[in-house]
A and B are shown apart, each in its own frame.
Chain A
Amino acid sequence: MALTNEQIDRYSRQIILPNVGGKGQDKILKSKVLVIGTGGLGAPCSFYLAAAGVGKIGLVDSDKVELNNLQRQIVHTTLDVGIPKVESGKKRLNALNPDTEVVTYNLRLDSGNILDVIKDYDIVVDGSDNFPTRYLVNDACVIAKKPLVHAGIFRYDGQIMTILPGKGPCYRCLFPEPPPAGAVPSCQEGGILGAVAGVLGVLQANEALKFILQSGELLSGRLLIFNASDASFRTVKVPKDKDCPVCSEHPTVTKLIDYQEFCSLKQNKDCSIK
């Protein structure tokens, strides 16, 4: 497909890059990325993906915009408080770039719907805020062989890794099982600096774009760790685990698990009193 004059102008600063060019821009315009969560990670990630001209972005979130989200979830504005996050996100991405088709999924992912939601996309970005969804997304992507960009944030720390099912390790190769409710950082003493979420969300967009452009080295087989207090980035090796519960040759997880029932049952008891 030929780029219009307006597109050539809009994307000129990336078209001139050695690994992009008109061909690369065409790949971006034809790409489809699913962004799970329109929060601290999903907001900056989807913003940059739309800016770059990703052809179709799916936004998945079941929450409504709250005032306390705005400190970091930059696709939402003060006027959006109270409306579904995916609607607010769609509005902003459409305003930024009419080339991008935005599809909204105002739902919570579970074992019954996830395979259907991810199937139309080239790559999945996980910006969810809880372990049940993270393990569900990992397992579904392994089963459906969808590339996945995982990231997590907590206080001043961030982690990111790209999962290429069939080729590299998955999230369970790194952490075989989710923490039990109550032991998890996400529901204890929380807190996050908006800029930390921004750094990780933009790194996720960067991974998705490299995947689309088939250029550079993806974070496959290594976990990148960002520490905001000392402004350091480190990587550690993530080997494929031959005993991985989901991606090994003898998996113990053979169907999708809805961990949230267990977690929400225990949540009040274990977490809120901390």
Chain B
Amino acid sequence: MMAKVKVRIPAPLQKITQNKQEVIAEAKNIKELILDLEKQFPGMKDRLLDESGKIRRFINFYVNDEDIRFLKQDETQLVEGSEVSIIPAIAGGLK
């Protein structure tokens, strides 16, 4: 079943979402969520997935506070009210 979920967008990706920190997506799992984000914000998919379509190794997805790598990866189910966070590795400040 499709679920409407809140997605937290990290600073490095906010250019694509017109500076929105939080967006709404509709999807039944993470794989679909990425497609819905791409539809709403073209360019998003390339930032999140590598050439083979896998989630990049320096970007994590959390459903509520759980890392989907330890659930069912991109098949992890979403339910109405789930909160998704996209969290990339970030380094320091500037030199």
Contact = CB atoms under 8 A, between A and B. Distances in A.
Interface of A: 37, 39-41, 63, 66, 72, 127-131, 134, 152-157, 159, 174-179, 183-186, 188-192, 197, 223, 225, 227, 229-230, 234-239, 241
A153 B94 CA distance: 9
Contacts of B66: 236-237
Contacts of B93: 39-41, 72, 129, 153-154, 190, 192, 197
Contact of A185 (B12, B60, B70): B12
Contacts of A131: 89, 91
27 contacts: A39-B93, A40-B93, A63-B95, A66-B95, A72-B93, A127-B92, A130-B91, A152-B90, A153-B92, A154-B12, A154-B91, A156-B11, A157-B10, A174-B60, A175-B89, A179-B56, A184-B58, A184-B89, A189-B12, A190-B93, A192-B94, A197-B93, A236-B62, A236-B66, A236-B87, A238-B67, A239-B67
B90 A153 contact: yes
Interface string B38-75: 00000000000000000011101010011101100000
B80 to A, nearest CB: 20
Contacts, number: 107
A69 B61 CA distance: 33
Given A129-B95, A236-B67, A154 B57 contact: no
A131 B15 CA distance: 22
Contacts of B87: 159, 223, 225, 236
A182 to B, nearest CB: 12
B51 to A, nearest CB: 12
B85 A236 contact: yes
A130 B90 contact: no
Interface in B3-42: 10-12, 15, 21
A185 B11 CA distance: 9
Contacts of A176: 57
B58 A178 contact: yes
Nearest to B93: A40
A153 B90 CA distance: 6
Contacts of B92: 37, 39-41, 127-130, 134, 152-153, 186
A152 B58 CA distance: 13
Contacts of A235: 65
A177 B94 contact: no
Counting chain A CB atoms within 10 Å of each CB, the highest count among B62, B65, B90, B95 belongs to: B90
Given A40-B94, A238-B67, 4 more contacts: A154-B12, A185-B91, A236-B67, A236-B87
Contact of A239 (B57, B58, B70, B95): B70
B11 A177 contact: no
Contacts of B15: 189
Looking at B11, B70, B88, B94, which has the most chain A CB atoms within 10 Å of its CB? Answer: B94
